[in-house]
Amino acid sequence: LLRKEWLVALVLALVFVASAERLKSAPRQSISVEMQVALPLFVQVFMAVGDRHLAANIAAIRALVVVPHQMEPEEFKILAKVQEDVSWLNPAHEDNYYIAFAILAQYGELDAAQTILARASRVRFFDFQPTFFYGFNQWYYKHDPVGAATWMREAAEKLPDPNQRLTMQNMAARWMDKAQDTELAIRVVESMAKEAKRRDFRAYLELRVVRLRQLHQLRTAAAAYRERFGRPLSNLQELVDSGMLHALPTDPFGFGFGFDQQGEIVLRTSPPRS
C-alpha cells in the first residue's frame, strides 16, 4: 500500500513539473486569477480523487468568487466552460444554475447558460426555477415567445400551488401574443384552453384565442392590402375603406389593435389613449 502511495505521489510530481515547464513558455494574458483556465474534465475528477460531485463543487466555488464587472470577454468564455463542466459533473448543482442565469446570459454566454439550465431542469424535477429561467431567457434574449411559453408551461407543472401554476400558465398564454406565427399561437393557446381544469381560466384562454384569430385576420388583410395597392397600411380603417374587411374586429378585452415600430399589426396590452 505504501509503495502505491509513493508511486501516485511520484506521478503527480512529474505531472506538476511537466505542466510548470510548459506554462513557462505559454503566452501570458491579463486574466484574473479566478478564471485563468478551464481544466479538462478528467483532470478535475482526478484532482477530486475520483469524486465527480466534489469536482463540481470545486469548480462551482471558482464561479462564485468572480467579479463580473471586472472581467474581460475572454474570461466570461472561461467562466462559461467552467460552469458547463459543473453541469456535466453534477447537473443538479443549484448554485451553478443560479450563476448561469444571473451572469452568463447577460454577459454574452447565453448558449452556455441555456445548456446549464436545460440540464438542471431535466434532473431537478421538483424545482421550477431552472425551467422558468430557461423560458425567460428564450423570451428576453432570444425573442422566441413560442419556445419561452413551452418552457413556462413546463415550469408551471412543477409548482405545488395551483394559484401559482395558474399565474405562470397565464404568463405563457400572454407571451403567445408576440408570436410571429399567429396560426401556431392559436393552436398553442387552444391546447392550453382544452387542458385547463378551471372553467374561468378556460373561458379566459378562449377569449385570448378569439383575439389571436382577430389578429390573424387583420394581418392577412393587411398583406392583401399591400399586395393590391403596393404600400403598407397607415391605419386599420383603410382595411374597411378599401373593402378588404366589412368591419374591424372588436377586441373582447377592449384593448384593440395597433402597430409596432416595424409597422406590424399587434395586440394592444392596454386601452388606447383617448
Each residue's pLDDT, cut to its tens digit, for the chain (274 residues) gives 445 555 555 555 665 556 666 655 555 444 444 455 566 666 667 667 677 788 777 777 877 777 777 888 888 898 899 899 999 999 999 999 999 999 999 999 999 999 999 999 999 999 999 999 999 999 999 999 999 999 999 999 999 999 999 999 999 999 999 998 999 999 999 999 999 989 999 999 999 999 999 999 999 999 999 999 999 998 999 999 999 999 999 999 999 999 998 899 999 988 777 6
Q: Where are the alpha helices (DSSP H) in 52-161?
A: 52-64, 73-89, 94-99, 110-123, 129-140, 145-157
pLDDT of residue 65: 76
pLDDT of residue 104: 93
pLDDT of residue 250: 94
| Non-local CB neighbours of 219 within 8 Å, separated by 6+ positions | 182, 264, 265
pLDDT of residue 66: 75
pLDDT of residue 38: 64
d(CA 269, CA 255): 6
- 3-state SS assignment for residue 257: strand
Closest CA to 137 of 159, 113, 119, 158: 113
pLDDT of residue 46: 63
The pTM score is 0.77
pLDDT of residue 7: 59
Would you give the end-to-end CA distance of the chain in angstroms?
Answer: 87
Query: What letter does residue 181 receive in the DSSP assignment?
Result: -
